[in-house]
Structure 1
């Protein structure tokens, strides 16, 4: 059975998402260690989403509650978020509903900005990370590979990819009302990770020409060389931060990279030895004595946060972080979203049909074993009577295969129609083969299932 535990911008606070993201590195291993029937785990952790996709290998009809509680304990252990908070935050999706949920997520239909393109790559990298950690499973592999195929189909066959905007572009659209001339705006890009390239491309589309890059991990020179911009050394970071009209941060650092102390130190340095002169490109604050400093805008796309909120204590500094950007996310593009939902729904039904066919495989195997055991017994009795003809044996085996053909075809037809119960009831009535049906998929809140038994 597939299970998904999901926290997102729709059901969780930014603070909880941030804590889940910070501690997500070892979460898959922590989950699998806590329940023997959990055979696979893939963690998807982005700036607005934390999800644990789990493969539960339990006998048909077994309750998943013990495994779910164990998984919650694993998430709690690795992230520091209490199990009580997680039970009140996480949504539970299981069974056939998991495919439709992941396909929608990967296609950008559940994002803050509907149709944003980054999520597909993030989901793909999540699977790669699970492979490296040895926590994936064949069924999760099939699920995530099909999710990537579906997202490409949505992008190619609907307008949602063009209509949707990334978080980077949405943030810069919000910044446009604060910038008078992008061509004269001095920009400091902090980070060379997943959003850095997209940020630089979006800045250039707006006309920004004076862009510098600083990397807390020391990768600025390489990034700057490949993108034809200026690298900022560690020793110059504070001064460059003070001189920038716009600072855009997108690192994966665990600590604040920009804070009020850094900006104050930079201002002190530039006041003694000006590096780039005055900052005329963003409009000045009102002229009262406490607010004569030039306005500068800081955009924080990091999770965990790259920028300490204390930067707003400095005169003229405005901060746009992910929580603020989320509030301004646009409404869905209804037509494109509707078309995309149809594609996702069809893909999920196809995925589930294959899974349902496979769910009857043990019953089909049991039927084949039952028939061939009878056949082998009859062949042995015939040999005991002196009939050891190879032609007779071949004819009997051919007859058995012919008789099994129709039950095997019907197993696939009934599974696709969702009528596995009819097939299994027939096997029980005719041959005494008893198999329980797996539970159907659904969505719920983890809180609905109640606390773990003591």
Structure 2
């Protein structure tokens, strides 16, 4: 059984999301071990959501996923240093094929602040890769995330969402553009050199920003050199931050603020020159009290979310239709997979009868045509039976077909299959 636990910008307070953003990259490994019924876990954490996807055992003795989910939430709450009840009240759950529909919507950008955003598909892909590298995925989780990536690609290639190049950082840049006279003359300081810094840089260049300087809190110069930007050292950072017209922060360093109110006020020497600060960090990169300084206009993720525009209904509707169809196909494929053990049993049973008949044919010295005819007949019969089983399974009647197979087969036929795990 697939289960999803999700906290996102629409239903979860920003402070809670901020705490969840600090849980660390090793959380998927911890969640995989919180309960005996958890077979695997994938964690997807972005700047406006935290999600954990679980593969829960279908063992009848462990029928309810609730104990596993309670254990998972306790582990998450502990990692985020927040009360269990606060987490429980601000997360949503999905199970069964609702999980596929939700993840496909997320990967396609339909559940983002900037609907259709570019970055989320890559984040979904990297979440799977991270869990895979640590050995925390299972076949159902692999299939789920792979289909999510395929669905997002289909949405991007067949709807106008793929034409817009949307992202949270571009939405933020669009929000502040009316407040600037000319991006080409603006002095911009980019704080951060990670994956999101590249998206921020692309958005800034797209609106015409030219004077862009970059500061890495860890002192790395690789990003600045690769992008031909002016690198701002630790010693020069305060002065550069004070002189910038626009500051964009997107660093993952969570121990201290990248911009403190007191030190920034001191660096500005009491000045009131207009300055726009875009804080894309989660946790926050900028001390909220910076917004109280004269001349400062601070936009954080919560502010950006509140100003997100409503996208075209037709385009979003087309994307949702694609997601819905993909989720239905995924459900059908899952149902077909569930009859695999019975398919294996049937194949072994028919193959056993065929082998016995072929042995008799050879002992009698019959012609090769007789053996060929027997093989052809058994193959056609198996194809018809399995095709019927797959069709019924895709329609939700796979259990009845599997029960029928087990009813007509001798008990020893099922026992002979053992634990080989053959797939149809």
Do the two structures share a fold, i.e. TM-score over 0.5? yes
Distance 2:96 2:44 in 1: 18
> Aligned to 2:274, which of 295, 301, 325?
295
Specify which structure has the bigger relative contact order, considering alpha-carbon pairs within 8 angstroms and separated by 6 or more residues.
1
Structure 2 residue 285 is matched with structure 1 residue 306: yes
Looking at structure 1, the residues matched to 58 and 35 of structure 2 have their Cα atoms a distance apart, in angstroms, of: 11
Residue number among 293, 315, 318 corresponding to 2:294 in the alignment = 315
Once the two structures are superposed, what CA deviation does each residue of 1:393-418 show, in whole Å capped at 9, x if it has no partner?
Answer: 96888766555443212110101112
2:237 paired residue number:
237
CA distance in 2, matches of 1:3, 1:374: 42
SS of the counterpart of 1:195?
helix
Structure 1 pair 198/372, CA: closer, same or farther in 2 (3 Å)? closer
The 3 A distance-change label for structure 1 pair 45 and 367 is: same
Choose the corresponding residue for 2:389, options 397, 411, 422.
Answer: 411
Kindly indicate whether residue 2 of structure 2 is the aligned counterpart of residue 21 of structure 1: no
Distance 1:425 1:217, change over 3 A: same
Are residues 1:341 and 2:342 paired? no
> CA–CA distance in 2 between the matches of 1:62 and 1:390?
55
Alignment of 1:16-165 (within 5 A): 16-59=16-59, 62-163=63-164, 165=166
Could you give the per-residue CA deviations for residues 265-298 of structure 1, whole angstroms, max 9, x where no partner exists? 4235xxxxxxxxxxxxxxxxxxxxxx96112111
Q: Which residue of 2 aligns with 1:287?
A: none
Structure 2 match to 1:176: 177
What is the alpha-carbon distance in structure 2 between the residues aligned to residue 432 and residue 262 of structure 1? 80
Q: Secondary structure at the match of 2:268?
A: helix
1:358 is the counterpart of 2:337: yes
What TM-score do you get using the length of structure 1 for normalisation? 0.82
Per-residue CA distance 1:227-261 (angstroms, 9 max, x = gap): 22211010011111111111110111113111112
Partners of 1:292 and 1:259 in 2: CA distance: 16
The alpha-carbon distance between structure 1 residues 391 and 73, as it changes in their structure 2 partners (threshold 3 A), is farther
Q: Within 2, Cα distance between the matches of 1:327 and 1:425? A: 53
**Aligned pair 1:332/2:305, yes or no?**
no
Give yes or no for contact 1:211–1:229 (8 Å, CA) kept in 2: yes
CA shift, 1:429, in A, is 5.2
Deviation of 1:111 (Å): 0.5
Following superposition, the deviation at residue 59 of structure 1 comes to 2.7
Distance of 1:34 and 1:250 partners within structure 2: 32
SS of 2:166's equivalent in the other structure is: coil
Q: Taking structure 1 as reference, are residues 421 and 432 closer, same or farther at Cα in structure 2, changes over 3 Å only?
A: farther
The CA deviation at 1:43 is 0.5
CA–CA distance in 2 between the matches of 1:96 and 1:146? 13
Gaps of 5+ in 1: 269-290, 436-454
Closer, same or farther in 2 for the Cα pair 1:423/1:217, shift >3 Å?
A: same
**Residues 177, 367 of structure 1: CA spacing in aligned structure 2 closer, same or farther, 3 A cutoff?**
same
Match of 1:209?
210
Q: What TM-score do the two structures reach when normalised by structure 2?
A: 0.87
In the other structure, the counterpart of 1:5 is 5
